[in-house]
A and B are shown apart, each in its own frame.
Chain A
Amino acid sequence: MIRKSQAKLGAFLDKAEKPIQWLITLCGWSSIIFVAAIFIFILKESWPAPLTLNWGEFFFSHRWIPVPAEGNEPTYGAMGIMYGTLAITVVSMFIAVPLGLGSAVYISEFATPKLKETLKVLIEFLAAIPSIIWGFIGLVIMGPIIQKVFGVAVGVNLLNASIVVGLMAVPLIVSISEDALRAVPDSYREASLALGASKWEMIYRVLFPAAKNGLLAACMLGVGRAVGETMAVWMASGGTDNIPENFFDPMLLLERVKALTATIAGEMPEAVNGGEHYQVLFIVGIVLLTISVVINVVSDLIIKGFKADKA
């Protein structure tokens, strides 16, 4: 009996072999199809604005006036919002990279096993906090603190958004750098300690070079997180697309900024479906998508280098 049913199953599987293969192939290709479909969809929604848009103005002017006063033409100068995204990314990385690498080093090299587990759970928890909560923290907690400390009228600004986004990127940086540090063979640690290196020397002369690619990839993914963050940035950045005149003036930290993501989220509900404003917002989406694809490809290449090194 058993043998008979097994034979039947065998015959069925033989016949099903081809369709199953097809199905699996389809699954494998689906991610590629999705990415292509997203690009095509966004491009289609923006059409025909890419043909008619004044690209010079888009990239080099910061006059973003999609809904002008009566009698004026709308202008779509996106330089201000690109600056906003760039500024938030750069400043937030000044916070997230040292903090993230520092805690990764602490977790992988100094913490006792018990503490290590606790910290890792807490950091995962941090990564799971919804971005609206971070935005709320920026708006309600950080804002008033910044107002008091710096004596400014408005507490939502570049500094606020960068702190919030930086803290959001920390868990990602910590977990990937910790993986990279843990992947460094213990024999390297023993070798350097046995040569009389201090723990700190071991970390910066041996572990950092050995884990370099993984640490760089962690930072790149942190950058990706900062570029793509929407809700928290929207709530904590203030929403003005000014470009500072002097980039070395630290006061620019207290200026309000506006990011690409927040612009789309904020204006999409007001834009007339299919109208020019709507189409240009999709072009902004293409710019964002391009930035994140580039960041992902670069960090992927870095991680590949990291694997090749180990082989």
Chain B
Amino acid sequence: MADDTQAFSIRVNDYNLWYGDFQALHHVTVDIKPGIVTSLIGPSGCGKTTLLRSLNRINERYGNVKTTGEIKILGKNILDEDVSPATLRKNVGMVFQRPNPLPISIYENVVFGLRSHATRKELKKSTLDSMVEEALTEVGLWHAVKDNLKRRATGLTLEQQQKLCIARLLPLKPQIILMDEPCSALDAAGIERIEELIAELKARFTIVIVTHNMAQAKRASDECIYMYLGEIVEHSPTAELFVNPKEEKTAMYIQGRYG
């Protein structure tokens, strides 16, 4: 098992999570592969967002969170005490349900993470400029905003905002990108373009995406994890899970019997 880290970029092992007295995740054990899109599906309250938010430990903000078990990312248990959330989050980027660019310029949004993580020497203006151009080009936003980089990012359309939220992760060179229903605030055209973008990015990253939308899980993901009441019910290649689910509960959910 020496090549664990290559085969899987995220290994969750017997992970439990409580919000106060309420146990939101039960004995979650799952391995997620790099270079593909893995989607987390399941009815509301099944713990899929909680699991996603555990992977960059942003859950800890709530204060009343208790966990047991182990989450190995790139071979390191991120729940260990010597792991700094800041460094973890540099490697594990996150895109939120509602586009949330910071109320500063487009340019500053893209370099926000770098300003936290790079040393002053690395922050030369020419380096930053080229990184901004590279990141915005990659998400297909460069031509729309290149003359307005000093404009406030909150003035962009929702679709552009969400692209910017993806672009600002790229200068940090993360290995993993977590997406929490990244398209739910967008219109049909916007959804299509964000899904295209996800498909372009997936070869270089491990992408984990939470979605309510089964059609989206079908279209955009390679593997699919079905969760119910805080447990993992099934983890299969997407094509298989939707055509030939192994578990009765999964079958009922994808047929729309509940959820």
Bound pair (A, B):
yes
Evaluate contact between A187 and B100: CB separation under 8 angstroms.
yes
- Which of A188, A190, A206 is close to B58, meaning CB atoms less than 8 Å apart? A190
Q: How far is the CA of A309 from the CA of B155 in the complex (A)?
A: 11
Given the complex, which residues of A lie within 8 Å of B151, measured CB to CB?
none
Evaluate contact between B96 and A196: CB separation under 8 angstroms.
no
Q: How far is the CA of A35 from the CA of B25 in the complex (A)?
A: 62
> Given A190-B58, A190-B96, do A196 and B103 touch, yes or no (CB 8 Å)?
no
Nearest CB in chain B: distance from A62 CB, A: 47
Q: How far is the CA of A197 from the CA of B116 in the complex (A)?
A: 6
Q: How far is the CA of A30 from the CA of B136 in the complex (A)?
A: 56
In chain B, what residue has the closest Cβ to A113? B63
> Given A112-B63, A187-B98, A209-B103, do A192 and B58 touch, yes or no (CB 8 Å)?
no
Interface size on B, residues (CB 8 A): 28
Q: How far is the CA of A190 from the CA of B89 in the complex (A)?
A: 11
Evaluate contact between B96 and A198: CB separation under 8 angstroms.
no
Within 8 A of A (CB), among B96-111: 96, 98, 100-104
Within 8 A of B (CB), among A83-137: 112
Q: How far is the CA of A196 from the CA of B85 in the complex (A)?
A: 7
Within 8 A of B (CB), among A35-56: none
In chain B, what residue has the closest Cβ to A188? B102
Evaluate contact between B117 and A196: CB separation under 8 angstroms.
yes
Evaluate contact between A196 and B90: CB separation under 8 angstroms.
yes
Tell me the dominant secondary structure on chain A's binding face.
helix
In chain A, what residue has the closest Cβ to B171? A195
The verdict on A26 contacting chain B, using a C-beta distance below 8 Å, is no
Evaluate contact between A196 and B86: CB separation under 8 angstroms.
yes
Nearest CB in chain B: distance from A117 CB, A: 15
- Which of B86, B100, B165 is close to A198, meaning CB atoms less than 8 Å apart? B86
Within 8 A of A (CB), among B70-112: 85-90, 93-94, 96, 98, 100-104, 112
Given the complex, which residues of B lie within 8 Å of A197, measured CB to CB?
86, 112-113, 116
Question: Which of A's residues lie within 8 Å of B, judged by CB?
Answer: 112, 185, 187-198, 201, 205-206, 209-210, 309
Q: Which 10 A-B pairs have the closest CB atoms?
A: A187-B100, A195-B113, A196-B89, A194-B94, A196-B90, A191-B100, A196-B86, A197-B116, A210-B103, A196-B116
List 7 A–B pairs whose Cβ atoms lie within 8 Å, in order of A's numbering. Answer: A195-B112, A195-B113, A195-B168, A196-B90, A205-B112, A206-B103, A209-B104
Given contacts A190-B96, A195-B169, A205-B115, 19 further A-B contacts (CB under 8 A): A112-B63, A189-B61, A190-B58, A190-B61, A191-B102, A193-B58, A194-B94, A194-B96, A195-B90, A195-B93, A195-B168, A196-B113, A196-B116, A196-B117, A197-B113, A197-B116, A198-B116, A206-B103, A309-B103
